[in-house]
Amino acid sequence: MRTRWIMPTDIGSYGVSAEIVLPTAGKDELGTGRYQFNVGGLIVYPVSPHLLTAGVIKQSTSVAGDHDRDKISNTEIRFIPVFILSDGWAISGELRQTWEHKSDQDWQRIEVSLNKQFDIHWAGVLSTSRDFGDRKDHGAALIAMKYFF
C-alpha cells in the first residue's frame, strides 16, 4: 500500500510518500520475507513543456517478519528525466544510487523506459535496466500494463 502527497508550486512540485510492503516471497531469492515501512520525498522541476526532471530520496526499513532473513535498511537517491512526446508517449530514464546500511553494500542502476498513456486509466511501459557496483547484474527487461483508479 502506498500513499503520496504532492504539492504544486509556481516553479515545480514537491511531495512525500509512505509505503507499507507485505512479505509475500516464500523463498529468499524472491523477496525479503519482512514487513517494510518506507518513506520518501521528491522534487519535480519542469525544464520545458517537453522535459521534466525529478529528484527522489527514499528510505526502506524492515519492521517485522521472518527472523531468519536479514533486516532491511536502504537509502536511495534517484534522478529521473522524462521527455514528453506527442500522442501520450514519453521516454523516461533513471539514475539510482542505493546504500544498504546493514551490509555496507552500495550499487547503481541505470534504467530507460518507453511509456504510452492510452487513456485516463490505462498505460503501458517497456523498460530495460542494469545494476552496477556490489549488485552488478546482466540487466533486466520489463513489459507492463498499468491501470489507474
* d(C-alpha 58, C-alpha 39), whole Å: 6
pLDDT of 149 > 90? The answer is no
pLDDT digits 0-9 by tens, 97-140: 999 998 889 999 999 999 999 999 999 999 999 999 999 999 99
Q: Look up the pTM and report it.
A: 0.85
Domains and CATH numbers, the chain: 2-147 (2.40.160.10)
At residue 117, the 3 state secondary structure works out as strand
Pairing type for strands 34-48 and 122-133 reads unpaired
pLDDT digits 0-9 by tens, 25-76: 666 666 677 889 999 999 999 999 999 999 999 999 988 887 777 788 999 9
